[in-house]
Amino acid sequence: MKLDVIDRLAWFGRSGLDFLQSLGRSGVFLFLAIFSRSGFTGRGALLIQQLYNVGLLSLIIVTVSGLFIGMVLGLQGYTILVHYGSEGAVGQLVALSLVRELGPVVTALLFAGRAGSALTAEIGLMKATEQLSSMEMIGVDPLKRIIAPRFWAGVISMPLLAIIFNVVGIFGGAFVGIDWLGIYEGSFWSGIQQSVDFIDDIGNGVVKSLVFGIVVTWIAVFQGYDATSTSEGISRATTRTVVYSSLAVLGLDFILTAVMFSGL
Amino acid sequence: MRTRTLEIGVGAFMLLGMLALVIMAIQVSGLSLKSAGKTYELLAYFDNVGSLRPRAKIAMAGVTIGQVKAVDLDKDTYTAKVVMAINQQVDNIPIDSTASIVTAGLLGEQYISISIGGDEAFLREGERFEDTQSALILEELIGKFLLGAVRQSG
- Predicted confidence at residue B37, as pLDDT, reads 66
pLDDT (average), residues A231-241: 93
Per the domain annotation, does B53 fall within a domain? yes
Per the domain annotation, does B71 fall within a domain? yes
- Predicted confidence at residue A244, as pLDDT, reads 95
Query: Between residues A23 and A232, which one has the greater pLDDT?
Result: A232
Residue of A nearest to B25 (CA): A198
Per the domain annotation, does A203 fall within a domain? yes
pLDDT (average), residues B113-124: 87
Number of domains in chain B: 2
Per the domain annotation, does A3 fall within a domain? no
Does residue B64 sit in the same domain as residue B17? no
Does residue B64 sit in the same domain as residue B108? yes
Does residue B24 sit in the same domain as residue B47? no
Question: Mean pLDDT lowest for which of A191-195, B135-139, B148-152?
Answer: B148-152
Does residue B72 sit in the same domain as residue B117? yes
- Predicted confidence at residue A41, as pLDDT, reads 53
Per the domain annotation, does A17 fall within a domain? no
Query: Between residues A191 and A65, which one has the greater pLDDT?
Result: A65
ipTM > 0.90 (yes/no) = no
Query: Between residues B136 and A94, which one has the greater pLDDT?
Result: A94
A55–B30 C-beta distance less than 8 A? no
pLDDT range class, residue A212, cuts 50, 70, 90 = very high
- Predicted confidence at residue B36, as pLDDT, reads 54
For chain B, the average pLDDT equals: 82
Query: Between residues B36 and A164, which one has the greater pLDDT?
Result: A164
Per the domain annotation, does B150 fall within a domain? no
pLDDT (average), residues A65-83: 93
Q: Which of B9, B20, B25 is the closest to A164 by Cβ? A: B20
Per the domain annotation, does B84 fall within a domain? yes
- Predicted confidence at residue A36, as pLDDT, reads 66
Per the domain annotation, does B90 fall within a domain? yes
Question: Mean pLDDT lowest for which of A159-168, A187-196, B23-32, B133-142?
Answer: B23-32
Q: Which of A49, A160, A192 is the closest to B6 by Cβ? A: A49
Residues of B in contact with A160 (CB under 8 A): 13-14, 16-18, 20
Instruction: Choose the mutation target among A47, A48, A84 for the interface with B, i.e. most B CBs under 10 Å.
Output: A48
Per the domain annotation, does A34 fall within a domain? no
Rounded to the nearest angstrom, the minimum Cα separation between B35 and chain A is 13
Number of domains in chain A: 1
Rounded to the nearest angstrom, the minimum Cα separation between B59 and chain A is 14
Task: Check pLDDT > 90 for residue A164.
Answer: yes
Does residue B74 sit in the same domain as residue B134? yes
Does residue B31 sit in the same domain as residue B44? no
pLDDT range class, residue B139, cuts 50, 70, 90 = confident
A85–B13 C-beta distance less than 8 A? no
pLDDT (average), residues B104-112: 75
Query: Between residues A249 and B103, which one has the greater pLDDT?
Result: A249
A170–B107 C-beta distance less than 8 A? no
Per the domain annotation, does A129 fall within a domain? yes
pLDDT in tens, A139-149: 888 888 888 88
Does residue B13 sit in the same domain as residue B78? no
pLDDT (average), residues A240-253: 95
Does residue B49 sit in the same domain as residue B123? yes
Instruction: Choose the mutation target among B6, B8, B22, B28 for the interface with A, i.e. most A CBs under 10 Å.
Output: B28
Domain that holds residue A215: 39-259
Per the domain annotation, does A10 fall within a domain? no
- Predicted confidence at residue A188, as pLDDT, reads 84
- Predicted confidence at residue B29, as pLDDT, reads 75
Domain that holds residue B19: 1-35
Per the domain annotation, does A100 fall within a domain? yes
Size of interface A-B (CB pairs under 8 A): 84
pLDDT in tens, B21-78: 888 888 777 765 555 567 888 889 988 888 887 778 888 888 888 888 888 898 888 8
pLDDT (average), residues B116-135: 85
Does residue B71 sit in the same domain as residue B135? yes
Per the domain annotation, does B124 fall within a domain? yes
Per the domain annotation, does B88 fall within a domain? yes
Task: Check pLDDT > 80 for residue B109.
Answer: no
Q: Compute the C-alpha angle B69/B72/B75, nearest 5°.
A: 150
pLDDT range class, residue B4, cuts 50, 70, 90 = confident
Does residue B26 sit in the same domain as residue B41? no
Does residue B28 sit in the same domain as residue B73? no
Does residue B109 sit in the same domain as residue B75? yes
pLDDT (average), residues A111-126: 94
Residues of A in contact with B109 (CB under 8 A): 194
Task: Check pLDDT > 70 for residue A92.
Answer: yes
Residue of A nearest to B15 (CA): A160
Q: What is the DSSP string of chain A?
A: -HHHHHHHHHHHHHHHHHHHHHHHHHHHHHHHHHH-TTTTTT-HHHHHHHHHHHTGGGHHHHHHHHHHHHHHHHHHHHHHHGGGT-GGGHHHHHHHHIIIIIHHHHHHHHHIIIIIHHHHHHHHHHHHTTHHHHHHHTT--HIIIIIHHHHHHHHHHHHHHHHHHHHHHHHHHHIIIIIIS---HHHHHHHHHHH--IIIIIIHHHHHHHHHHHHHHHHHHHHHHT--SSHHHHHHHHHHHHHHHHHHHHHHHHHHHHHHHTT-
Task: Check pLDDT > 70 for residue B10.
Answer: yes
Q: What is the pTM of this model?
A: 0.75
Please tell me which of A24-28, A59-63, A186-190 the model is most confident about, judged by mean pLDDT: A59-63
Per the domain annotation, does B151 fall within a domain? no
